[in-house]
């Protein structure tokens, strides 16, 4: 095995004048050093903008310029420091608002050559990687008719996925042209697709294998390092090569979540009706935006959340800057759109004099009647947002004022946020499943569903066991996903796995059952529709003594004289969405998604006005999952999503200096929630409005649990103090500043009470 290490740029934006790696080659064990010019490929899934290594120019501090291949990691690490690169610096731009100005430095000169998906609109000659627009109704008329207008700006900084297993790839380019990949990634199919299209290798000569993955959260979807490591293997003489990122590189080289600005103007009638919403989103996509262009699209078409807004205009720009590239992260644009919208709702409620719950009730979409902002009429069984809200209010005891904390400079408050999400995917994103029976009627389920901690596989196994009346242990899904051996699924992202792959599996089961019943019908001399599968046996309905065990059928049935019928049973099934469409490029109208999961989060918080510290005491999440297939898995998603939402909401921010360097690329200076920081209680309730085309009526849930946390906390703060928190993270520093600036009266009062209490202590002493 050879080891690769990346040589990365030390400047944010520059022409590469010269790369001298002669000294690096002198390190014992170094096999080769390669640079971008060696592989002039463009790779990507959506924007198609990425190089394997920098060609001619670097676009961020951390941009891989060269790769060292060596016999040991130690040699590779030593050699990296000896690669000498001469740059001619170009003006750099770090803020997307600056990058949009007409005289801003241009980051991608050849944008028109990029092979992008038809769903996106890059604007060559600018730094705009995608412009998404949506128009419904007449927003100007809406504002003229509005009694109350709210205008606000919001901001969310870059955050890192922080999956515990760092990105790592082993690639082996074989002499016969076959490429074998082992990688820590969410999905096998897109890796093969991206490699095939960019490197020109036939699909069946690329074998991608993924074993257990130590977390993904969207950061291991889309484009990875596989194409690069594959060509490194070829360059190194067809030997296997391994690339493992360091944690520092996870913060400086691998893609993270984009930075985000939201500029919102909202118009309401006196009675609380939301009638006009004009919102502009600017995404700081960094140097490459391959996947973020789709985040820009999703944040755009999710602008209306759970509400029926007749007049809406959205512009969402995904903008290049000279910072780290960005990609999907759990929630995919929805946490961003909801950070804006759900705070607007509370600001409007305050101005109109309505309860935050009431203004939401007034504006909730009504499935079967309402259209979303993309003009999609919500199906009648899409969910029950009204019941979600009601359940949320009951669980958080909305109308019961929280207890007063013992220390008078602290306040308690409750806040809530609603949310809705569906998978952001191309309209034709398919799934399939193959299941084959073994001699003992155990089942091998061949699926490509990603397995990175969500537990979807358990849910899918339950479906198979249930349908055949078999114990769970009889169903096996191998722990390795393999393009060569697993049935195709587009990707496991966007909370879609259980839904899409679940449907494909149900159809494969149906296919297998047909084969089983056909044989059983002959043997038992009984019409197929009189047969049933119970406890691993085919029985005649109503005559349970007339039966054949499954193992006598699944390899074909043999009569006593040796005559045999049927044969090995293999079921196959597919999922294909038939109603989703591309969105109209001007108006954003169409059907973007296969389901909408509605939900809500509420929090009970204690606010320290003096220090800006927030202590979340209780989190409630209510989700309309359609149907709960495994309550333990849902609980894990709720707990995990709540904590991730709380961590990103409270602590996390990748900080850049004025030269574009990340200053906190480690877990000391980039704080993640730890077990000592968890709220006392997280509770969840399911609303089960079964969706007729979902597996047993189920909808996806994984990402949903993160969306409502930050806006609910901000709303709780606003409700108690009228202090607006428009910017994440809600750490003591930011909150303390906000309290002092916006409510000096409250702050001074709190300080006075604090000093009084200390005096009392002194007097007593």
Partner 1 sequence: MVHKITLTVNGYKRTVEVKDNELLLDVLRDKLKIKGLKAACWRGECGLCTVLLNGKLVKSCLVLAVEVDGSEIVTVEGLSRDGELTELQKAFIEHGALQCGFCTPAFVLASHQLLLENPNPTDEEIKEKLSGILCRCGTYYEIIEAIKSASNFYRKKQR
The phi-psi region of residue 495 (left if phi > 0; otherwise alpha if psi is between -120 and 50; otherwise beta) is left
CA separation for the pair 526, 15 (Å, rounded): 78
Identify the CA nearest to 323 among candidates 297, 289, 300: 289
Contact present, 199 and 231 (Cβ < 8 Å) = yes
In terms of CB distance, is 553 or 623 closer to partner 1?
A: 623
- 525 φ, ψ to 5°? 50, 60
Please state the closest distance from residue 632 (CB atom) to partner 1, in A. 5
Please state the closest distance from residue 679 (CB atom) to partner 1, in A. 9
Please state the closest distance from residue 121 (CB atom) to partner 1, in A. 34
Please state the closest distance from residue 547 (CB atom) to partner 1, in A. 34
- Residues whose CB is less than 8 angstroms from the CB of residue 643 and which lie 6 or more positions away in sequence, other chains included: 673, 678, 682
- Extract the tokens encoding 10: 């030390």
Please state the closest distance from residue 731 (CB atom) to partner 1, in A. 18
In terms of CB distance, is 504 or 662 closer to partner 1?
A: 662
In terms of CB distance, is 364 or 707 closer to partner 1?
A: 707
Helix (H) or strand (E) holding 86: strand 84-89
DSSP labels for 408-457? TTEEEEEEEEEEEE-----TT--EEEEEEE-TTS-EEEE-----SSS-HH
In terms of CB distance, is 161 or 313 closer to partner 1?
A: 161
Please state the closest distance from residue 78 (CB atom) to partner 1, in A. 12
> What are the residues binding partner 1 (CB under 8 A)?
161-166, 212-217, 246-247, 452-455, 632-633, 635-636, 639-644, 666-668, 672-676, 678, 682
Q: Determine how many CB atoms are found less than 10 A away from the CB of residue 332.
A: 29
Please state the closest distance from residue 327 (CB atom) to partner 1, in A. 16
Side-chain half-sphere exposure of 747, counting CA atoms within 13 A: 14
Helix (H) or strand (E) holding 42: strand 42-43
Please state the closest distance from residue 566 (CB atom) to partner 1, in A. 38
Contact present, 46 and 128 (Cβ < 8 Å) = no
Identify the CA nearest to 281 among candidates 296, 291, 271: 296
Please state the closest distance from residue 540 (CB atom) to partner 1, in A. 39
In terms of CB distance, is 246 or 521 closer to partner 1?
A: 246
Please state the closest distance from residue 136 (CB atom) to partner 1, in A. 37
CA separation for the pair 331, 295 (Å, rounded): 9
In terms of CB distance, is 400 or 675 closer to partner 1?
A: 675
Please state the closest distance from residue 516 (CB atom) to partner 1, in A. 32
In terms of CB distance, is 18 or 676 closer to partner 1?
A: 676
In terms of CB distance, is 98 or 165 closer to partner 1?
A: 165
In terms of CB distance, is 82 or 673 closer to partner 1?
A: 673
Please state the closest distance from residue 394 (CB atom) to partner 1, in A. 22
In terms of CB distance, is 166 or 753 closer to partner 1?
A: 166
SS3 content of the chain, % helix, strand, coil (to 5): 30, 25, 40
Question: Cis link prior to 341 (omega < 30° from 0)?
Answer: no
- 259 φ, ψ to 5°? -85, 160
CA separation for the pair 693, 222 (Å, rounded): 27
In terms of CB distance, is 175 or 632 closer to partner 1?
A: 632
In terms of CB distance, is 168 or 727 closer to partner 1?
A: 168
Helices (H), 286-422: 292-301, 334-352, 356-363, 385-396
Task: Indicate the DSSP class of residue 577.
Answer: -
DSSP labels for 600-636? EEEEEEEEETTT--EEEEEEEEEEE-SS-S-HHHHHH
- Extract the tokens encoding 445: 């389920």
CA separation for the pair 597, 306 (Å, rounded): 10
């Amino acid at each position: 095995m050879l080891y690769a290490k990346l040589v990365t740029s030390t400047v944010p934006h520059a022409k590469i004048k010269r790369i001298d790696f002669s000294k690096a080659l002198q390190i014992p064990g170094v096999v080769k050093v390669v640079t971008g010019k060696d592989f002039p490929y463009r790779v990507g899934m959506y924007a198609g903008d990425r190089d394997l290594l920098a060609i001619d120019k670097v676009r961020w501090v951390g941009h891989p310029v060269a790769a060292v291949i060596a016999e040991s990691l130690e040699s590779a690490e030593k050699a990296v420091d000896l690669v000498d690169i001469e740059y001619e610096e170009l003006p750099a731009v770090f803020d997307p608002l600056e990058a949009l100005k007409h005289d801003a430095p241009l980051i991608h000169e050849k944008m028109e050559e990029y092979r992008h998906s038809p769903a996106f609109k890059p604007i060559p000659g600018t730094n705009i990687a995608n412009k998404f627009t949506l128009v419904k109704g007449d927003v100007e008329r809406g504002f003229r008719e509005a009694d109350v207008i709210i205008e606000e700006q919001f901001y969310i900084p870059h955050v890192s996925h922080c999956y515990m297993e760092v990105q790592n790839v082993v690639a082996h380019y074989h002499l016969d042209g076959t490429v074998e990949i082992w990688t820590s990634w969410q999905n096998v199919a897109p890796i093969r697709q991206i490699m095939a299209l960019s490197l020109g290798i036939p699909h069946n000569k690329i074998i991608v294998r993924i074993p257990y993955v130590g977390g993904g959260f969207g950061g291991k979807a889309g484009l990875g390092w596989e194409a690069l490591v594959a060509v490194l293997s070829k360059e190194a003489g067809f030997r296997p090569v391994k690339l493992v990122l360091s944690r520092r590189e996870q913060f400086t080289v691998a893609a993270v979540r984009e930075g985000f600005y939201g500029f919102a103007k909202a118009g309401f009638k006196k009675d609380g009706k939301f009638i006009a919403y004009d919102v502009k989103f600017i995404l700081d996509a960094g140097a490459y935006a391959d996947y973020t262009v789709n985040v820009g699209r999703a944040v755009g078409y999710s602008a209306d959340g759970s509400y029926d807004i007749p007049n809406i205009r959205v512009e969402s720009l995904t903008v290049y800057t000279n910072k780290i590239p960005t990609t999907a992260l759990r929630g995919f644009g929805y946490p961003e759109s909801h950070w804006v919208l759900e705070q607007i709702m509370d600001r409007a409620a305050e101005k109109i004099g309505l309860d935050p719950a009431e203004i939401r009730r007034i504006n909730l979409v009504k499935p079967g009647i309402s259209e979303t902002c993309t003009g999609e009429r919500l199906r009648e069984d899409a969910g029950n947002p009204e019941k979600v809200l009601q359940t949320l209010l009951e669980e958080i005891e909305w109308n019961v004022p929280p207890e007063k904390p013992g220390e008078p400079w602290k306040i308690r408050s409750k806040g809530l946020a609603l949310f809705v999400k569906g998978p952001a995917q191309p309209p034709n994103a398919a799934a399939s499943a193959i299941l084959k029976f073994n001699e003992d009627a155990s089942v091998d389920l061949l699926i490509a569903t990603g397995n990175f901690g969500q537990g979807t596989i358990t849910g899918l196994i339950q479906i198979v066991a249930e349908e055949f009346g078999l114990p769970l242990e009889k169903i096996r899904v191998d722990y390795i996903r393999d393009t060569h051996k697993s049935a195709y699924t587009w990707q496991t992202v966007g909370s879609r796995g259980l839904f899409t792959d679940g449907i494909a599996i149900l159809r494969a089961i149906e296919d297998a059952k047909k084969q089983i019943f056909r044989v059983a019908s002959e043997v038992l001399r009984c019409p197929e529709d009189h047969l049933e599968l119970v406890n691993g046996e085919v029985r005649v309905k109503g005559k349970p003594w007339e039966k054949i065990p499954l193992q006598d059928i699944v390899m074909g049935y043999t009569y006593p004289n040796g005559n045999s019928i049927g044969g090995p049973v293999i079921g196959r099934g597919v999922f294909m969405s038939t109603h989703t469409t591309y969105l109209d490029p001007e108006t954003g109208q169409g059907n973007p998604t296969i389901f909408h999961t509605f939900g809500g989060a509420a929090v009970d918080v204690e606010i320290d006005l003096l220090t800006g510290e927030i202590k979340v005491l209780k989190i409630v999440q209510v989700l309309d999952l359609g149907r709960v297939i495994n309550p333990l898995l849902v609980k894990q998603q709720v707990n995990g999503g709540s904590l991730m939402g709380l961590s990103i909401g409270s602590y996390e921010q990748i900080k850049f200096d004025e030269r574009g360097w990340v200053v906190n690329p480690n877990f000391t200076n980039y704080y993640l929630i730890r077990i000592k920081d968890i709220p006392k209680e997280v509770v969840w309730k399911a609303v089960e409005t079964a969706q007729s085309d979902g597996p047993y009526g189920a909808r996806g849930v994984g990402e949903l649990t993160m969306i409502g946390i930050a806006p609910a906390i901000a709303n709780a703060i606003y409700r108690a103090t009228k202090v607006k928190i428009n910017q994440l993270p809600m750490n003591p520093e930011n909150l303390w500043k906000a309290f002092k600036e916006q409510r000096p009266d409250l702050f001074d009062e709190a300080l006075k009470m604090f000093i009084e209490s200390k005096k009392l202590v002194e007097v007593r002493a």
